[in-house]
């Protein structure tokens, strides 16, 4: 199983109050990606947001900077908000990243969980799903063909248009990032694309029927089972002990998600709710190395087998040093334990 880290380049200060220095945020983020590479992690992802508290509005720029400082770790988006982007530019950016990184680029494309990009780029939120479906089709056409002929509703047609550069990988990996919409799972299966499931709350095993929909749709479309891979993106943090991890992570997590929850009508975060989420069935991967490794394996079994897990851990105002320590624990202990348990 591949294990990695996702980051939204959070600009919230370490104490969870106010703003951090933006230049320091990026400098430290690049250092963490470099450290994840040296610790043997498999993948590092950068999200895309257009909000004050996140500095990831141009993820391929961050990933390209990371490519120059790393050797083996795969570099991906987490996710690219394709609904609000031009698929031609998305392909060109990631193809360039693939060349810069010597074939280590990937992208996870989705519709995004925030909606700021729609008014920002002059799009109608009512076209939320239709925009994504059309743009994903164009992106896949560009990946497949150097010369593209295409027409659609939301973008001018392409007639015998050559699109460059071409990536080193053929094809460059494109995952579909999904939340909890059945149609999204089915679409990814029909297209035969790998699936990255963002589970940031609730009980992870409850997503099994949706993943079964994905696999059945892929089977019916004629795709080989090994092509229908599933990844899991979850909130997580690893400390030296479970007690340490909870003490470090909960205060900043509660502040961040209570603040975001006010925008979305969620109730304030409670300690009881947090403890349920980090319990045996909950989605969070928060704890000591042994506990987190066992939970990853349980999640994999509950979902019928997953090939990748990504921790989203820099959303709780944790210091750079604590995040570095967590990355080291994931690389040196969690990954080894997961591999051993899966082998058994």
Decide if pLDDT at 279 tops 80.
yes
Rg of the Cα trace of the chain?
19
Omega of the bond prior to 124 within 30 degrees of 0, cis? no
The tally of CA atoms less than 13 A away on the side-chain side of residue 99 is 9
Instruction: Say yes or no to pLDDT of 17 above 60.
Output: no
For residue 256, the tally of other CB atoms under 10 A from its CB is 18
How much is the pTM? Answer: 0.95
* Cα–Cα dist 48/81, whole Å: 7
User: Which range is least confidently modeled, 5-19, 85-99, 180-194?
Assistant: 5-19
Q: What is the pLDDT of residue 20?
A: 62
Q: How far apart are CA 182 and CA 166, in angstroms?
A: 33
**Per-residue pLDDT at 16 exceeds 60:** no
| Percent of the chain with pLDDT strictly greater than 90 | 84
- The Cα 297–Cα 342 span in angstroms is 7
Determine the pLDDT at residue 19. 58
pLDDT of residue 258: 92
Among the ranges given (97-111, 137-151, 232-246, 264-278), the one the predictor scored with the smallest mean pLDDT: 264-278
Per-residue pLDDT at 114 = 81
Q: What percent of the chain has pLDDT over 70?
A: 98
Calpha distance 158→134 (Å, rounded) = 14
CA atoms within 13 A on the CB side of 286: 27
User: Where residue 14 falls among pLDDT bands split at 50, 70, 90?
Assistant: low
The pLDDT of 236-254, averaged and rounded, is: 96
* pLDDT tens track for 136-171: 999 999 999 999 999 999 999 999 999 999 999 999
- The answer to whether the CB of 53 falls within 8 A of the CB of 21 is no
Q: What is the pLDDT of residues 177-192, one digit of tens each?
A: 999 899 999 999 999 9
pLDDT for res 13? 60
The Cα 132–Cα 85 span in angstroms is 9
**Between 101 and 256, where is the model more confident?**
101
All domains in the chain, ordered by first residue: 2-343 (3.20.20.30)
Q: What is the mean pLDDT of residues 214-230?
A: 97
Task: Identify the pLDDT of residue 112.
Answer: 78
């Amino acid at each position: 199983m591949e294990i990695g880290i996702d980051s939204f380049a959070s600009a919230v200060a370490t104490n969870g109050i106010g703003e951090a220095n933006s230049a320091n945020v990026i400098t430290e983020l690049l250092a963490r990606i470099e450290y994840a590479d040296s610790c043997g992690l498999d993948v590092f992802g950068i999200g895309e947001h257009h909000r004050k508290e996140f500095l990831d509005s141009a993820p391929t720029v961050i990933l390209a900077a990371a490519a120059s400082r790393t050797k083996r770790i795969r570099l991906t988006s987490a996710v690219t908000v394709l609904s609000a982007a031009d698929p031609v530019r998305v392909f060109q950016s990631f193809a360039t990243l693939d060349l810069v990184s010597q074939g280590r680029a990937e992208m996870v494309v989705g519709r995004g969980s925030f909606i700021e990009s729609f008014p920002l780029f002059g799009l109608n939120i009512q076209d939320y799903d239709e925009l994504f479906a059309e743009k994903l089709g164009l992106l896949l056409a560009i990946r497949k063909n150097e010369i593209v002929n295409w027409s659609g509703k939301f973008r001018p047609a392409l007639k015998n248009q050559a699109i460059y550069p071409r990536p080193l990988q053929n094809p460059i990996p494109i995952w579909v990032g999904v939340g909890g919409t059945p149609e999204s799972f089915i679409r990814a299966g029909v297209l035969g694309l790998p699936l990255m499931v963002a589970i940031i709350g609730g009980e992870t095993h409850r997503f099994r029927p949706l993943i079964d929909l994905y696999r059945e749709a892929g089977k019916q479309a004629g795709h080989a089972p090994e092509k229908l891979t599933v990844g899991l993106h979850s909130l997580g943090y690893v400390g030296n002990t479970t007690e340490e991890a909870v003490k470090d992570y909960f205060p900043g997590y509660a502040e961040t998600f209570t603040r975001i929850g006010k925008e979305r009508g969620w109730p304030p975060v409670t300690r009881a709710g947090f403890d349920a989420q980090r319990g045996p069935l909950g989605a969070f991967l928060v704890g000591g190395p042994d506990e987190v490794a066992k939970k990853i394996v349980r999640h994999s079994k509950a979902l019928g087998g997953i090939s990748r897990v990504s921790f989203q851990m820099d959303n709780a105002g944790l210091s750079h040093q604590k995040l570095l320590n967590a990355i080291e624990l994931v690389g040196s202990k969690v990954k080894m334990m997961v591999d051993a348990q899966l082998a058994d």
